[in-house]
Structure 1
């Protein structure tokens, strides 16, 4: 398996290391995203597009929660999700797959959309 998990809002090194220990043996790379990079596109953060257009560094507060974006790992979700849950990234952590539709979104836009959907489904 090759692919990346972009981590947003994981401020504790212990949380990041727990996730890395859980998915590293499965071949997935953990990429913690710095808050100042939240305005960059998801494709740039995943290393799929060159960072050609300069963007203002994000200077706002935290997202309000944690989020994981799966990049090129769609076929491994059945294996990854239980491993992440055991490592502490349960249902309160928003999760998404990088798609052609959202690849040019910023982390902020994706988080807001996922939060809206999560709330519409009653927080399940």
Structure 2
């Protein structure tokens, strides 16, 4: 049973290779996502869905930081997260779910930022 780890905002080949090596024992494939694909749904980027209506290529700037999305790794989540953290993936992290698989990277990153801000305020929205 394999899984996919989508990387957003990781521009250094050394970082990408370090993350790939860290998760290889867990049968996980690291997939760096090109900035032009940030408008595509997460499920499409993970190779699980086909894009019904092609999205326009993203021509904007960065997300505001780096992000990792774990796909199909639910049974190995804790050790994979530990390996990613140890390899230097200090960034926003999410798990692909039925709820967010239609979201773009921009929407998912924005939601992660809102959740982080709410947690820092003590859960108040």
Bucket of the pairwise TM-score, normalised by the shorter protein: over 0.9
- Counterpart in the other structure of 2:56: 56
Partners of 1:11 and 1:82 lie apart in 2 by 21
1:80 maps onto 2:80 in alignment: yes
Aligned positions, number = 121
- Counterpart in the other structure of 1:65: 65
Deviation at residue 51 of structure 1 after TM alignment:
2.7
Of 115, 118, 121, 2:119 maps to 121
CA offset digits 1:31-79 (Å, max 9, x no partner): 1000000000000000001133111100000001111111011111111
- Counterpart in the other structure of 1:42: 42
Unmatched tracts of structure 1, length 5 or more: none
RMSD: 1.2
Partners of 1:116 and 1:39 lie apart in 2 by 19
For normalisation by structure 1, the TM-score amounts to: 0.93
Structure 1 runs (4+) deviating above 2 angstroms are: none
Matches within 5 A, 1:18-29: 18-29=18-29
